A and B are shown apart, each in its own frame.
Chain A
Amino acid sequence: MSELKITSLSASYGLAVALTDVSITLRKGETVGLLGRNGAGKTTLLKSIVNDPEISATGEVTVAGASLRKTPTYKVARRGVAWVPDNRRIFTSLSVAENLDIAKSRKAPGDQLDKVLANVPLVEKLLKRRGFELSGGEQQAVTIARALMGDPDFLLLDEPTEGLAPLIVEQLRTSISRLPSLFDLGVLVTEQNFRFVTELADRVHILETGQAVWAGAPDELVARPDLINRHLSVGEK
């Protein structure tokens, strides 16, 4: 089975170390959640996977056994790893249709658009709208739809709920939860929203100051208020 394997990954911004010796495996068909406070290294981990040029990383990242370490960001996307950065980052001067069009890869099946429009709610109604006209929730839906246009094997979502209303967050959770089976892909999602991740993920990793400090099933984490208080500073009531 195809998997995205992160082995002993360390990363830094210049001299500032942001990630130390993190190992995570993501398989197709599953959702892995990454929890951690601000500055824990969640975004750095995703950027390191896609080889963002501002980061210097060591360790290994492989897809189906092939290394991604020296692969430029755009080629990582073409190798089936779609990254949805935080702040939604829609191309504001393009229409939604154009946003989706430029993201379609040659390897994607001909009916990929149909599949995406059918299964990522909201987007079909927005096709003719310009990026700058969309609300936060609409933008998030479009960025996910755009990432799916390349028919990825793995989807990296960076804090998708940031700044969204609770109702939209709930809708987003339902939508993301269906992606692994519908699109046959693995989802790695970073979040500060504890409930969002524990209700969505099959496995959860906690990062703290750049290090992986815990990994396990969401139910295990929910049952461990000590861990939650120590590493995430949130309490479940």
Chain B
Amino acid sequence: MSAPVRTAPRRIAAGPSILPGVASARFDLRPVYEPLIFLVLTSAAYFAMPPNMQYILGIAVIYALLTTSLSVLFGWTGTYTFGHAAFFGMGAYAAALLKDQAWGPLTFLGVSAAVAAVAAVVIGLIGRRLAKVEFAMLTMIVGQIAYLLTFRVPELEGDNGIYGIPRGEIAGVDLAPPETFWWYSVIVVAVVMGLLRRINLSSFGESLSAIRDDPVKAAAIGIPVNALRLAAFTLAGAVAGLAGGLFAQQGSIVTPSTLSFTFSGQIIIMALLGGMTRFWGPAVGAILFQFINALVFGNTPHATLVLGAILLAVVLVFPSGVLGVLSRLRGLLSRGRRTR
């Protein structure tokens, strides 16, 4: 550390992006080409599948968005939530309650996202001074309250749920046929995933990573920890709500199970299965989980036991999830090639 004092070199331009590595990240094309790859791969799979599997994939891509929204909290920010399904359900119920409005499907999605975002802001403000575990408990309690309200508020129709949510049409194109709805939903999911990826690579995303690594040090260098946590919570809630709205359009029905604590747990399991340390991990986990779930429930009476064993294996054997394992294998292979 005793190098002589040098005159500052001029090779790095001043401006909002200050570092060579980071400046290139700001103009990273990953938010564009990664969602495109996602769209192409899932669509290719969709049109190669029988209709019953197409239905599962249709739900799985919506869950891919939902689990990625969870990862904004768990994976990016280090904020734990056990009630994420509440935002998904709020988005879905918002679309269901407003089903008679003559709005376009994208407007419904906007409303679903807005309703969930407002709820997230309120919960985030209430819990802004709580420690990690206490905050997680707060989200769980709020989730349970939202779930119970579906049985107490007559307009929410209790166990029966709300039927007849229209898919609507965009620019004269009716979204009712399954293939048309597939394109609509996968494009919406890909676009929002692209936006999330952009946020993930931005300085906001970096600051969230810093908060996850060490909130005390993050505050010490001027990062407003509580405000950014609230922003992340709102973003996660809004995206989960949007996914809920899409889910309501997809199935034309919303039931209390969309808000349940069990479903919140399932969202965490899906995200863990893919791996929360990588951006696309939760999405991959959601899709894998849906197909494993379909196969297991169709073929064994001990489905819950099998799913439990899978979760245990994920946590114990590969905590970084499927994408983490693939990345490690790729590392091992490339090292093997170098040594050959």
A: number of interface residues (CB 8 Å): 57
What per-residue 1/0 map shows which CB atoms of B220-231 lie under 8 Å from chain A?
A: 111111000000
A77 touches B3 (CB 8 A): no
Check if A220 is an interface residue, CB within 8 A of chain B.
no
Q: How far is A104 from B12 in the complex, measured between Cα atoms in Å?
A: 14
Q: Report chain A residues within 8 Å CB of B25.
A: 98
Q: How far is A110 from B21 in the complex, measured between Cα atoms in Å?
A: 17
CB nearest neighbor in B for A112: B18
Binds A, one of B30-38, B211-219, B251-259: B211-219
Check if A236 is an interface residue, CB within 8 A of chain B.
no
**Pick the contact of B221 from A97, A102, A172 — CB < 8 Å?**
A102
B219 touches A114 (CB 8 A): no
What per-residue 1/0 map shows which CB atoms of A13-53 lie under 8 Å from chain B?
A: 00000000000000000000000000000000000001010
A172 touches B21 (CB 8 A): no
Q: Report chain B residues within 8 Å CB of A109.
A: 14
Q: How far is A93 from B17 in the complex, measured between Cα atoms in Å?
A: 20
Q: How far is A172 from B7 in the complex, measured between Cα atoms in Å?
A: 20
Check if B22 is an interface residue, CB within 8 A of chain A.
yes
Q: Report chain A residues within 8 Å CB of B18.
A: 100-101, 104, 112-113
Check if B298 is an interface residue, CB within 8 A of chain A.
no
CB nearest neighbor in A for B17: A101
Chain A residues 165-208 with CB under 8 Å of chain B are: 168, 170-172, 174-175, 178, 182
CB nearest neighbor in B for A81: B220
Min C-beta distance of B125 to chain A, whole Å: 16
Question: Size range of the interface on B?
Answer: 35 or more
A100 and B19 in contact, given A93-B209, A94-B210 (Cβ under 8 angstroms): yes
**Pick the contact of A74 from B2, B7, B8, B222 — CB < 8 Å?**
B222
A113 touches B19 (CB 8 A): yes
Q: How far is A217 from B113 in the complex, measured between Cα atoms in Å?
A: 63
B221 touches A147 (CB 8 A): yes
Chain A residues 104-163 with CB under 8 Å of chain B are: 104-105, 109-115, 117-122, 127-128, 131, 137, 141, 146-147, 149-150
A85 touches B217 (CB 8 A): yes
B221 touches A77 (CB 8 A): yes
Check if B6 is an interface residue, CB within 8 A of chain A.
yes
A114 and B10 in contact, given A97-B20, A98-B206 (Cβ under 8 angstroms): yes
B206 touches A85 (CB 8 A): no
Check if B44 is an interface residue, CB within 8 A of chain A.
no
Name the residue among A104, A141, A170 with the largest chain B CB count within 10 angstroms: A104
Q: Is the interface of B mostly helix, strand, loop or mixed?
A: loop
Chain B residues 124-145 with CB under 8 Å of chain A are: none
A175 touches B213 (CB 8 A): no
B221 touches A146 (CB 8 A): yes
Q: Report chain A residues within 8 Å CB of B224.
A: 72, 74-75
CB nearest neighbor in A for B226: A72
Q: How far is A26 from B268 in the complex, measured between Cα atoms in Å?
A: 50
Name the residue among B22, B203, B220, B222 with the largest chain A CB count within 10 angstroms: B220
B8 touches A178 (CB 8 A): no
B1 touches A113 (CB 8 A): no
Q: How far is A110 from B19 in the complex, measured between Cα atoms in Å?
A: 11
Q: How far is A21 from B253 in the complex, measured between Cα atoms in Å?
A: 66
A89 touches B221 (CB 8 A): no
Q: Report chain B residues within 8 Å CB of A97.
A: 19-22
A binding-site residues for B, Cβ under 8 Å: 50, 52, 72-75, 77-78, 82-85, 89, 91-95, 97-105, 109-115, 117-122, 127-128, 131, 137, 141, 146-147, 149-150, 168, 170-172, 174-175, 178, 182
B binding-site residues for A, Cβ under 8 Å: 1-3, 5-12, 14-15, 17-22, 25, 203, 206-207, 209-210, 212-214, 216-225
What are 21 contact pairs spanning A and B, CB under 8 A? A52-B216, A72-B219, A73-B219, A73-B220, A75-B222, A77-B222, A82-B221, A84-B220, A85-B220, A89-B217, A91-B213, A91-B217, A93-B209, A93-B213, A101-B18, A102-B223, A114-B9, A118-B7, A149-B221, A175-B1, A182-B5
Question: Besides the contacts A91-B213, A111-B10, what 9 more A-B pairs have beta carbons closer than 8 Å?
Answer: A85-B216, A91-B210, A93-B213, A97-B21, A98-B22, A101-B206, A103-B221, A127-B19, A147-B221
